């Protein structure tokens, strides 16, 4: 009988001694595609956040709380 990994009451994963994981080797092209998707998502997310913050700061009176005159 094959025993699968279990989680004990504390939340620690316990694997049996004879349990072997199947290798998950992905081709280089698949890994590069996944890395480029994650990288472009991160860059776009950071860029749009910075641009929206800059636009807010430049178009609101957040930098000058006291109006003179």
How far is the CA of 18 from the CAs of 7, 8, 24, in angstroms? 17, 18, 19
Residue 65 within a domain: no
- Range of the structural domain that residue 51 is part of: 28-58
In a domain? residue 10: no
Which residue would you say has higher pLDDT here, 52 or 19?
A: 52
Q: What is the pLDDT of residues 6-38, one digit of tens each?
A: 888 888 988 888 777 778 789 999 999 999 999
pTM: 0.52
Number of domains in the chain: 1
Dihedral, CA atoms, 55, 56, 62, 64, nearest 10 degrees? 20
What does the mean pLDDT of the chain come to? 84
Question: What's the pLDDT score for residue 42?
Answer: 97
């Amino acid at each position: 009988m094959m025993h699968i990994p279990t989680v004990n009451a504390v939340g620690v994963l316990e694997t049996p001694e004879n349990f072997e994981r199947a290798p998950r080797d992905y081709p280089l092209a698949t890994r590069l595609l996944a890395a480029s998707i994650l990288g472009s998502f991160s860059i776009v997310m950071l860029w749009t956040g910075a641009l929206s913050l800059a636009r807010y700061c430049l178009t609101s009176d957040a930098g000058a709380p006291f109006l003179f005159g």
